[in-house]
């Protein structure tokens, strides 16, 4: 994923390049920053905040009605699930409008006319894939229409499902518009798109013979900057088409994922994290950790580690953490006598901490895909997550003063100020209660995971808008909610099409073949786990974590079952290795993000991160080969639950 891509926090398919022709740069600015927003654009900008507000309100109202009035909305679960479907498509449409669909960073290396050609080629192919997904979705909706299912009395379900073909169609149109700076180039891309769709419908050659060439073209377009969702979705469409299977299976799986009963947790927890990150929570928490840890050796390391873990757990990934806090944490570490290199490596590595802690989104998604109880997954991640935090703090304490030209004995901790610590704790009391609210709702049993996520988002809103007033209700909240919706839309587009690709792999019995091969050739679970660690780190360095969960996890579950590996333990191993993959050179996501945020070459960031990468790898080995670290807490909770 592009280092630029999470800066907003989701990325441009192909960023503006100063070496592009002037007309191309003008067209980029016109598309991304129109001087006078139209009524249509204003309505689109308002749609995501309203949808997310409704998504928060419905589960919260359900809790209130159930708790105090012994009543129910009746269809609250289904409504929240289908709101998630609409959020995913509207978020994707807006991300396409602003050229912020998640894409690889390789296109940013091109300059001049090569960048213009890459943009046109990738745009034409991406638009073709999106249009094909729209046509397949139309087939799905037509089939559902004949079924006669109702969403509400008098409201057919197919009307809500129509957001799928409509959304993919609008995305295709916008990808065509952005493929070239001139109308002539856009028309040419549209003709290529129409020609490829016609070839798919009336191919004079057997589709099986065209499968490999089509995949090669798709790969080239992805390298040239086509969005990730079109790469994965295109691969699924091509494989279904080549095998003479109905391509409508792709939107069917997309719909099945986005209306999963637990999936609304993902946009709700993301919204809570964004509200806290965009408000003054980072400043108050930084003051708190500095005041309480300043009297300890390695206090700055503790403060950095804890604040990174907090925001990563609630925003869903390390991208927002590094981009929002990197500029704040780096000067603090340098001022605390860390060498520039150690400070750079520490901020980069600590940015991924928290992925194993509740309520981080990758844990939620793994639970959905692997069909594991979400509460059990959260409990399983606590021990390993805390282990990685402790190891990171230990390395940070050791690194203070080393290589900075200051003797280690000179790096004495500052004197603990009791009065300042009390003031800092009081100032951050509402932020400190956020995990309590979230975890109490999750583990108490009085709320479902979706309701707990809604309560968390509502609490974050109250803290930032009504209590601290860091965010203005009308001026700031729509912007922050739109940013959260854009990230969610980009992720859910990827997840939906990835599940379609996974469906093909399952139909082709790929997991069964892998499990049979493993049973024949791998007899030691420990040897398998070691190989799995190395492969997953490599996968995590090049594949977006959410797509990796949807595509790779179904392949691993049968193998793990044959080798007797607990699915919760396997999931934590998987996620911990994905976390390491963020730091794996040369293109780990954290390396790219830190390079972009801190204005350092990627090679310099990679070298600075290697020591902490080694320390965290040691932690992953402990997680892998000492299963009780993961399984003890879920087993204890299961025994204590009647």
Q: Which of 540, 543, 578, 558 is nearest to 360 (CA)?
A: 578
Supply 468's token pair. 């601290």
Give phi and psi for 395, each to the nearest 5: -65, -40
The 3-state secondary structure of 68-83 reads HCCCCCCCHHHHHHHH
Handedness of CA 100, 105, 110, 116 (dihedral sign): negative
CA distances from 590 to 546, 594, 608, 620 (A): 15, 6, 12, 18
pLDDT lower than 70: segments of the chain = 1-37, 104-109, 294-295, 315-320, 324, 402-416, 586-587, 596, 640-642
Residues in Cβ contact with 95 at an 8 Å cutoff, skipping those fewer than 6 apart = 10, 101, 486, 489, 490
Q: Say if CB 357 and CB 588 are below 8 A apart.
A: no
Distance CA 74, CA 436 (A): 29
Task: Print burial letters for 153-171: b (CB count within 10 Å at least 16), e (below 16).
Answer: eeebbbebbbbbbbbbbbb
Residues in Cβ contact with 336 at an 8 Å cutoff, skipping those fewer than 6 apart = 299, 300, 400, 411
For residue 227, what are the β-bridge partners? 103
pLDDT of residue 120: 93
pLDDT per position as a tens digit, 590-629: 777 777 677 788 788 888 888 988 999 999 999 999 999 9
DSSP state of 225: T
Q: Which of 75, 69, 409 is nearest to 259 (CA)?
A: 75
Distance CA 215, CA 194 (A): 18
For residue 103, what are the β-bridge partners? 227
Residues in Cβ contact with 506 at an 8 Å cutoff, skipping those fewer than 6 apart = 554
pLDDT of residue 6: 38
3-state class percentages of the chain: helix first, strand second, coil last, to nearest 5: 75, 0, 25
DSSP states of 95-161: HHHTT-S-B-SGGGG--HHHHHHHHHHHHHHHHHHHHHHHHHHHHHHHHHHHHT-EEETTEEHHHHH
Distance CA 111, CA 121 (A): 15
Q: Say if CB 282 and CB 312 are below 8 A apart.
A: no
DSSP element (H, E) containing 52: helix 39-68
DSSP states of 383-444: HHHHHHHHHHHHHHHHHTTTTTTS-GGG-PPPPP-HHHHHHHHHHTHHHHHHHHHHHHHHHH
Q: Using omega within 30 degrees of 0 as the cis cutoff, is the peptide bond preceding 516 cis?
A: no
pLDDT of residue 34: 46
Distance CA 82, CA 88 (A): 10
Q: Say if CB 328 and CB 286 are below 8 A apart.
A: yes
CA distances from 483 to 91, 258, 277, 360, 479 (A): 9, 19, 12, 18, 6
Q: Where are the domains of the chain?
A: 22-258, 265-640
Q: Say if CB 316 and CB 358 are below 8 A apart.
A: no
DSSP state of 474: T
pLDDT of residue 16: 39
Q: Which of 549, 637, 583 is nearest to 367 (CA)?
A: 549
DSSP state of 524: -
CA distances from 164 to 112, 139, 161 (A): 36, 11, 6
pTM of this structure: 0.79
């Amino acid at each position: 994923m592009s280092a630029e891509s999470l800066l907003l926090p989701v990325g441009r398919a192909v960023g503006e390049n100063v070496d592009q022709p002037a007309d191309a740069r003008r067209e980029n600015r016109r598309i991304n920053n129109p001087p006078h927003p139209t009524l249509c654009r204003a309505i689109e900008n308002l749609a995501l905040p309203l949808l997310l507000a409704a998504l928060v309100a419905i589960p919260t109202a359900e809790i209130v009605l159930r708790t105090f009035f012994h009543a129910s909305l009746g269809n609250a679960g289904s409504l929240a699930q289908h709101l998630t479907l609409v959020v995913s498509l509207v978020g994707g449409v807006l991300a396409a409008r602003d050229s912020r669909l998640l894409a690889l960073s390789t296109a940013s290396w091109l300059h001049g006319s090569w960048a213009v050609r890459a943009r046109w080629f990738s745009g034409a192919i991406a638009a073709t894939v999106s249009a094909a997904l729209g046509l397949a979705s139309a087939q799905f909706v037509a089939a559902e229409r004949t079924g006669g299912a109702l969403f509400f009395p008098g409201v057919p379900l197919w009307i809500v499902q129509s957001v799928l073909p409509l959304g993919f169609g609008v995305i295709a149109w916008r990808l065509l518009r952005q493929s070239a700076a001139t109308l002539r180039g856009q028309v040419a891309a549209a003709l290529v798109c129409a020609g490829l769709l016609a070839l798919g419908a009336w191919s004079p050659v057997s589709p099986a013979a065209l499968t490999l060439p089509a995949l090669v073209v798709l790969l080239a377009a992805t390298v040239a900057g086509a969005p990730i969702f079109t790469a994965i979705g295109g691969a699924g469409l091509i494989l279904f088409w080549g095998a003479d299977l109905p391509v409508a299976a792709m939107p069917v799986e997309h719909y099945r994922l986005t209306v999963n009963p637990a999936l609304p947790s993902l946009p709700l927890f993301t919204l809570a994290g964004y509200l806290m990150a965009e408000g003054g929570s980072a400043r108050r928490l930084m003051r708190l950790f500095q005041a309480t840890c300043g009297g300890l050796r390695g206090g700055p390391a503790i403060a950095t580690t804890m604040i990174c873990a907090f925001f990563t757990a609630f925003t869903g990934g390390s991208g927002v953490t590094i981009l929002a806090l990197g500029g704040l944490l780096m000067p603090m570490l340098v001022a605390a006598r860390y060498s520039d290199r150690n400070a750079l490596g520490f901020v980069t590595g600590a940015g991924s901490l928290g992925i194993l802690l509740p309520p981080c989104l990758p844990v939620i998604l793994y639970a959905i895909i692997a069909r594991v109880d979400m509460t059990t997954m959260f409990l399983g991640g606590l021990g390993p997550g805390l282990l990685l935090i402790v190891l990171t703090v230990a390395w940070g304490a050791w690194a203070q003063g080393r290589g900075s030209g200051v003797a280690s004995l000179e790096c004495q901790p500052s004197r603990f100020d009791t009065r300042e610590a009390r003031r800092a704790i009081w100032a951050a009391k509402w932020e400190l209660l956020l995990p309590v609210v979230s975890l109490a709702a999750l583990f108490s049993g009085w709320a479902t995971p979706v309701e707990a996520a809604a309560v968390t988002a509502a609490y974050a809103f109250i803290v930032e808008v009504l209590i601290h007033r860091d965010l203005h209700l009308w001026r700031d909240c729509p912007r922050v909610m739109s940013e959260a919706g854009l990230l969610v839309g980009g992720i859910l587009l990827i997840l939906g099409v990835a599940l379609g690709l996974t469906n093909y792999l399952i139909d082709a019995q790929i997991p069964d073949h892998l499990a049979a091969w493993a049973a024949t050739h791998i007899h030691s679970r420990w040897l398998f786990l070691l190989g799995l660690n190395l492969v997953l780190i490599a996968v995590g360095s090049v594949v977006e974590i959410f797509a990796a969960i949807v595509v790779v996890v179904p392949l691993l579950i049968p193998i793990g079952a044959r080798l007797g590996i607990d699915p919760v333990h396997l999931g934590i191993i998987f996620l911990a290795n994905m976390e390491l993959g963020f730091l794996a050179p040369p293109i780990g996501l954290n390396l790219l993000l830190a390079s972009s945020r801190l204005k350092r070459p990627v090679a310099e960031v990679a070298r600075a991160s290697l020591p902490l990468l080694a320390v965290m790898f040691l932690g992953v080995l402990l997680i892998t080969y000492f299963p009780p670290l993961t399984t003890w807490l879920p087993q204890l909770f299961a025994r204590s639950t009647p």
